[in-house]
Structure 1
Amino acid sequence: MSDGDAARALPGDRFAGLGTEFGGLTRSLLGATTIGGVLRELVTTAARVIPAASLVSITLRGPDGLFYTPVETDPIATELDQVQYRAGEGPCVDAARPDGPAHAESQDLAREAKWPQFGPAAARHGVGSLLAIALLPDARPPQVSGALNVYAHDAGALTEADREVALLLATHGSLALANTRAVTAAELQNAQLRKAIDSRDVIGQAKGILMQRRGITADEAFDILRRTSQELNVKLTVLAETLATRHVDLDLPEPLA
């Protein structure tokens, strides 16, 4: 779909401010010299121009067939991506496969029959809907494929207009990634952002502390961290680092029954 086609598909008031956004995005993407730079620009823009987006991430599938999340707007998105990777199912996994669909989505994850493991797990983490758009759809070995993932807290929150915007973003991103001429296994390994890796580590430590102190499961520990982060309006990584490094007794809620 061309930019003009997408513009006609979107309501006028919704598209009014997107022309400037996409103009700036195109300049930023074409000016990026690394894969990491392109991916960061994609998730930042998606979170800004898709109103229902609560979390945004990128899934990449390496030549070895393994999935990983090099960049996201919040570590919660990485945690949700990882649930899909472990289960081998979900919109992110489907859209990121080289032979996968152009997009995969669910408007009600709690009741989603297509992904019986991931759907209920996502709902327990407070996510109601998810849209994943394929990146690098023409990838061939040893190149990689991927997906742009948009999570929304509420079921039914992601609209057809949101899908059109995400498709435009993914198209721009795919062209920019191809333009870097560096979509190889070695370059993608370098694109594994240190911050994302460190974030996962500190969240794992915080979960372990809560599990030991309270005798709860990993899912319950993560849910406590997520809800506390939202209630205090503090980034999940900051909360987790405080708990993991200072071993303080924070006033965290008990897990839901």
Structure 2
Amino acid sequence: MDDYDAQPDRKPPPGPELSPAQLEADEFDLNAGLSGLAGIVAGACGVDEMLRQVAQFAVQAIPGADGAGVTLIYPHDADSGDELRIQAWSVTADFVQTIDTLQYDKLGEGPCITCIQTRRPAVSGSLGSDRRWPRFGGSVARMGVHSVLALPLTVGDRVVGSINSYARSKDAFTEHAVQLGSQFAGPAAVSVYNSQVLANTQLRTTQLQQALRSRAVIDQAIGIIRSRSGATAQEAFDRLTRISQREHIKLADVAEQLVDEAVRRARARQ
């Protein structure tokens, strides 16, 4: 398997040839992780919890991983040259949280960012000497973590996030691990993307419902002003707007206050 970015100028020492039993065990773990992915029901949990579950299944599926994190990015950032914007991420261990915070919030460099930009897996077996991320690699190596496998999560031609697997030992992620990780990343990307689409749809639905409720209250307030003053609809709306600007209150809140006041007066007259 050649379609990944290995650490430049580093040839990892030859590892022991995997026995049929070990290959079978790795295949079993991969299938268990994929089965776990298939069991995640979109919408049954929040995005953060879904990402946490995907990260846990990644540790199970990828040989050599001591911990993993799954990152979700804003859709438009995958195809732009803008700085990477993280929508959400979740991890399986505290040390992964520390590493990814360093990568995203402090340094702006690291394997996740690279694999999202190149759309190829990124592998390092000695982070302390990896010239691709000089600040990140040295800091992580001092934490006692020396290997990383970062896998882009792609759906069609869109990158929606990444899986970052870390190991404390050097050269933990062989070509075999990259191959199994890539097999896991495909279905994982679909799960992450579906969750992202569902969350965005729910947000837009909520916003639309709020807008419709606000519009209804504003229309009621306009009707009250017109009944009291004989103003046109536009004149009544302009009056609400002036109050909103003067009092620094949202237009919908001004309208709601006016409607509530009218209701209280009507009840008092009964």
Q: State if a TM-score over 0.5 links the two structures.
A: yes
Aligned position for 1:163: 178
Partner secondary structure for residue 158 of structure 1? coil
1:84 matched to 2:103: yes
Give, in angstroms, the shift of residue 20 of structure 1: 4.2
5+ residue gaps, structure 1, are 2-9, 189-257
**Residue identity matched to 2:67:** L
Overall identity of the aligned pairs, in % = 29
Which of 37, 62, 70 does residue 89 from structure 2 map onto? 70
CA contact (8 A) 1:102 1:133 kept: yes
**Residue identity matched to 1:71:** S
1:1-257 alignment, distance < 5 Å: 12-34=20-42, 35-36=47-48, 38-63=50-75, 65-67=84-86, 70-85=89-104, 86-97=106-117, 100-138=118-156, 140=158, 145-180=160-195, 182=197, 185=200
CA contact (8 A) 2:33 2:60 kept: no
Partner secondary structure for residue 47 of structure 1? helix
In the comparison of the two structures, how many residue pairs are matched? Answer: 176
**Residue identity matched to 1:12:** P
5+ residue gaps, structure 2, are 2-17, 78-83, 204-270
Task: Determine which structure has more spread, i.e. the larger CA radius of gyration.
Answer: 2
- TM-score normalized by the length of structure 2: 0.56
* Counterpart-to-counterpart distance in 1, 2:201 and 2:94: 24
Describe the superposition over 1:130-180 as per-residue Cα deviations: whole angstroms up to 9, x where unpaired.
11000125364xxx6211111010121221111111111111211333455
Give, in angstroms, the shift of residue 126 of structure 1: 1.0
* Counterpart-to-counterpart distance in 1, 2:22 and 2:88: 30
- TM-score normalized by the length of structure 1: 0.58
CA contact (8 A) 1:62 1:185 kept: no
Partner secondary structure for residue 60 of structure 2? helix
In structure 2, the CA distance between the partners of 1:187 and 1:52, relative to structure 1 (3 Å rule), is farther
Partner secondary structure for residue 172 of structure 2? coil
* Counterpart-to-counterpart distance in 1, 2:145 and 2:86: 21
CA contact (8 A) 1:96 1:146 kept: yes
In structure 2, the CA distance between the partners of 1:121 and 1:30, relative to structure 1 (3 Å rule), is same
In structure 2, the CA distance between the partners of 1:181 and 1:148, relative to structure 1 (3 Å rule), is closer
Give, in angstroms, the shift of residue 33 of structure 1: 2.5
